[in-house]
Structure 1
Amino acid sequence: MKDKRESFNSRWGFILACIGSAVGMGNIWMFPTRVSLYGGGSFLIPYFIFVVVIASTGVIGEMSFGRAARSGPIDAFGMVCEKKGKRKVGEGLGMIPVLGSLAMAIGYTVVMGWILKYAVGTFTGATLAPKTIEEFGGRFGTMASAFGNNIWQILALILCMCILIFGVGAGIEKANKILMPIFFTLFVILGIYVAFQPGAAAGYQYIFRVDKAAILDPKTWIFALGQAFFSLSVAGNGTLIYGSYLSDEEDIPSSAARVAFFDTVAAMLAALVIIPAMATTGATLDQGGPGLLFIYLPNLISSMPGSTIIAIIFFVAVLFAGMTSLINLYEAPIATVQEKLHVGRKTACVIIAVIGVIVSLLIQGIVSDWMDILSIYICPLGAGLAGIMFFWIAGKKYVETQINKGRETKFTKMYYPICKYIYVPICILVLVLGIALGGIG
């Protein structure tokens, strides 16, 4: 069974898939807001630090763990615990990140339904049709209510499954090779356009200012940690499962560095588009989340020269970024169904799609609370469990063997102790801070 496991066809196919899983709504509707709220450069400094720390520990660890196990979290955790005579315990714990990935994918499906409706609406004129901020807000409120966007939501899920049904190389890899370059190209175009708008310079000053009070504020560091942690998709599921499709010839530390770099570029591009765009109207960015994407930005875009073209470019780019993340979230449960029920790819996709359609339709009115629970509790818990399994239970020799596969020179000997004594406690810290502050991701 494991000898026939699918794999990525190329190194860049894998890297682009991982970039696609990392680049999502957090980069677009949360990162610019946090840059704005927490002192611009004062936020960027700790953010960059935490990106380096997490990419060089947790991201490498989850990729290596997946490749070593050649399976998803359930078998990976079970394999490690089997040495202690506790395979069933490991498999039970492995269910947490798998179910977390499915639940996150279901919540994300609701959001993707909104994005698909807005992206199509940029071509028909519906997206920019409202005339006031109140009208934009009212329309979004209707769409985001219980059973308020059924058809578009189902279409988004079908589109995702049509990609996943082709498998890893012909589906996930090919989709990301197309969607990710287009996403970056479109956001670069938007960035150039915004740069030539009157007042944009004030936005750049706002982004790169360094506020001493902000950099000394613990909240700046806490939310920078949360942003980096969730943006890099360490949760014991998606990154681990993508790693399981890698050959032993791949240099995982180098791949992780590229993923972190391009994820950070995506976040910065979003900030360099959205914050200067807000500055052209004299507005300050204090509204994050769905409201920014579906109320404030459409209202802003509608007042800009060439608004229709700008809206098309923006929402198509957002659609592509969201779709690549949704693909990653659904892959872990699909792969698990394949492994545990011994069914084909198509059957596994149909099973998960049916669950996704039913549950996502039922949670439309409560999706915000649904996603908050997952980001506060399940994602850091999954990352922490994967870290404990790999760095504490599997042991030093095993870890160093796995991370050095495919490398010409051995990775730093400090990797294991840093992950064991710094990264794993960071996962626990993210969980505790998220509970205490009502979410930091």
Structure 2
Amino acid sequence: MATRDDNIIAEEARAIEVGEETAVGAPNPSGGSGRGRRDTWATHTGFILACVGSAVGMANIWLFPYRVAQLGGAAFLIPYLIFVALLGFTGVIGEMAFGRAMGTGPMGAFGRAMEMRGVRHGERIGKIIGLIPTLGSLALAIGYAVVLGWACHYLFSAMTGELMAQTDTGAFFGAMASDFGNVGFHLLGLAITFGIMILGVSRGIEKANKVLMPTFFVLFVIIAIRVATLPGAEAGYLYLLVPRWEALLNPTTWVYALGQAFFSLSLAGCGTLVYGSYLKRDVDVVDAAKNVAIFDTIAGLVSACVVVPAVFAFGLDVSSGPPLLFITLAQVFQEMPFGGVFAVILFVAVVFAAITSLMNLFEAPVEALQKQLGLSRLASVGIIAVAAVAVGLFIEGGSSVSDWMDVISIYVIPVGAFLAAIMFFWVCPAGFAKSQAELGRKKPLGAWFNVFTRYVFVGITALVIVLGIFYGGIG
């Protein structure tokens, strides 16, 4: 690997960075030609809400409550919050700053990093490597869209009263989560998502998140208040909030706390990176990352305060994954006074959370088509939509989509995060990552940043890959 003088490389990096703000071939919010000024977030708040929307998803609703309840109650929060802080102030900041510095998604960012280092054919090699997180994001989105379709189906069934009339919620879910068992609602979820994305970053994704994310939190708080009035909910709060300190001696607690934090913060070398590429230079990414970590944690805690007490109130089991949301909680609402109303509220919130996460996952491949091939926003979204339908309809079965998501989340997503970390913290010139993270800040970052990003975060990301394979998934 050839190297140049770091001062020269740094100057090149700044030139690249400034040039990217008006890059030829950048996304056009009008959906016309792919050439012109790159779309950006209109407001700082909009960017933060979009990142929160990407982080808040099914992991907060059907996995976090289970992890807390099963792995020590409030004691689980100790390792979880440690990892959230550690990953938020290294990986999340890094992906935001990397995207903004390069003004493009994973393929372009990786290519520029290799070019800055002076690698022969570095741009081409970097783009090829960048395909891993980009295609991983697309694959995960295709599977996630199946789940959004389930949520849309349940919302409709709750609104019509069909869900409340079911005598066997397990059989109802099984019929829906079967091969080609939910095509209509699957396509509806995709249509809503892509309809928003066609409008662009500021006019589509940002405006949608400004409505969907605050509404999500309000709806879950409403349900949490209702659950608190249920007879027997106290036992759930005790099981959830009273720390069982012995759990901290179990390595599994720490492993799953790490996995929950890592995947919940959407570290994948794609979604957060591409959202960062639309970011203006005066935004403090350290502050943004802090807010994402805080609101993502709040979402998980509120979800836990809804799910666990509600399940305990009716003597049901706290399970994980789709059965908790689509079978167990459906039973809870059937037995709850005015349960139909609260079922509608819950599944509206779930649909909103799924859409905001899905937009983030689809944005990486959409941006790649715009930036790398010069396609319009409309054409890029259209191509990804066709791919999502063509593949997604064949994995609608519960076991099929579960296997699909496991493979992507275990083998591809953490590898994408690892590659992005290597590119930004090691391949880019020394000090470049820190200088980019400091843009928009009044105070510089301490020397800790280089140590924690180059060694601790990269090491933890590699550990996530190994542990995911060993445990068969940790997030």
AA paired with 2:150? W
AA paired with 2:148? M
- 1:201 and 2:237 equivalent? no
Cα distance, 1:90 vs structure 2: 1.1
Q: Secondary structure at the match of 1:305?
A: coil
Q: Structure 2 CA distance, aligned partners of 1:392 and 1:217?
A: 34
Cα distance, 1:68 vs structure 2: 0.3
Match of 1:143 among 163, 171, 176: 176
Partner of 1:315: 347
Partner of 1:327: 359
AA paired with 2:375? V
- 1:212 and 2:235 equivalent? no
Cα distance, 1:282 vs structure 2: 2.9
Partner of 2:6: none
Map 1:371-390 onto structure 2 (within 5 A): 371-390=405-424
Q: Structure 2 CA distance, aligned partners of 1:212 and 1:380?
A: 29
Match of 2:442 among 408, 412, 430: 408
Q: Structure 2 CA distance, aligned partners of 1:362 and 1:10?
A: 39
Q: Structure 2 CA distance, aligned partners of 1:62 and 1:35?
A: 28
Partner of 1:436: 470
Match of 2:165 among 110, 118, 129: 129
**CA offsets 1:80-107 (integer angstroms, 9 cap, x no match):** 0112322222111100000000001100
Q: Secondary structure at the match of 2:315?
A: coil
Cα distance, 1:283 vs structure 2: 3.1
Q: Secondary structure at the match of 2:431?
A: helix
**CA offsets 1:162-198 (integer angstroms, 9 cap, x no match):** 0000000000000000000100000011111111111
CA RMSD of aligned residues (A): 0.9
Runs ≥4 residues deviating over 2 A: none
Q: Structure 1 CA distance, aligned partners of 2:248 and 2:163?
A: 38
Q: Structure 2 CA distance, aligned partners of 1:191 and 1:396?
A: 48
Match of 2:68 among 35, 46, 65: 35
Q: Secondary structure at the match of 2:90?
A: helix
**CA offsets 1:212-263 (integer angstroms, 9 cap, x no match):** 2211100000000000000000000000000000010000000000010000
AA paired with 1:156? G
Cα distance, 1:138 vs structure 2: 1.2
AA paired with 1:417? V
User: Gaps (5+ residues) in structure 2?
Assistant: 1-23, 27-35
- 1:63 and 2:96 equivalent? yes
Cα distance, 1:376 vs structure 2: 0.5
Cα distance, 1:413 vs structure 2: 1.8
Cα distance, 1:403 vs structure 2: 0.6
Q: Structure 1 CA distance, aligned partners of 2:440 and 2:471?
A: 41
Map 1:332-351 onto structure 2 (within 5 A): 332-351=364-383
- 1:177 and 2:210 equivalent? yes
Q: Structure 2 CA distance, aligned partners of 1:274 and 1:17?
A: 25
Map 1:29-428 onto structure 2 (within 5 A): 29-82=62-115, 83-85=117-119, 86-131=122-167, 135-285=168-318, 287-365=319-397, 366-428=400-462
Partner of 2:11: none
Cα distance, 1:279 vs structure 2: 1.6
AA paired with 2:94? G
Q: Structure 2 CA distance, aligned partners of 1:414 and 1:42?
A: 27
Q: Secondary structure at the match of 2:335?
A: coil
Q: Structure 1 CA distance, aligned partners of 2:204 and 2:277?
A: 16
Q: Structure 2 CA distance, aligned partners of 1:218 and 1:41?
A: 16
Q: Secondary structure at the match of 2:280?
A: coil
Q: Structure 2 CA distance, aligned partners of 1:414 and 1:4?
A: 36
8 Å Cα contact 1:42-1:220 kept in structure 2: no
**CA offsets 1:3-45 (integer angstroms, 9 cap, x no match):** 7110000000000000000000000000001111101112111
AA paired with 2:45? W
AA paired with 2:242? R
Partner of 1:13: 46
AA paired with 1:412? G
User: Gaps (5+ residues) in structure 1?
Assistant: none
**CA offsets 1:414-438 (integer angstroms, 9 cap, x no match):** 1111111100111110010000010
Q: Structure 2 CA distance, aligned partners of 1:58 and 1:18?
A: 13
8 Å Cα contact 1:27-1:266 kept in structure 2: yes
AA paired with 1:408? K
Cα distance, 1:333 vs structure 2: 0.5
Q: Secondary structure at the match of 1:302?
A: helix
Cα distance, 1:50 vs structure 2: 0.6
8 Å Cα contact 2:83-2:257 kept in structure 1: yes
8 Å Cα contact 2:311-2:328 kept in structure 1: no
Q: Secondary structure at the match of 2:165?
A: coil
Q: Structure 2 CA distance, aligned partners of 1:231 and 1:428?
A: 17
TM-score by length of 2: 0.91
AA paired with 1:25? M
8 Å Cα contact 2:108-2:372 kept in structure 1: no
AA paired with 1:99? L
TM-score by length of 1: 0.98
Q: Give the length in aligned residue pairs.
A: 437
Q: Secondary structure at the match of 1:406?
A: coil
Q: Structure 1 CA distance, aligned partners of 2:159 and 2:224?
A: 21
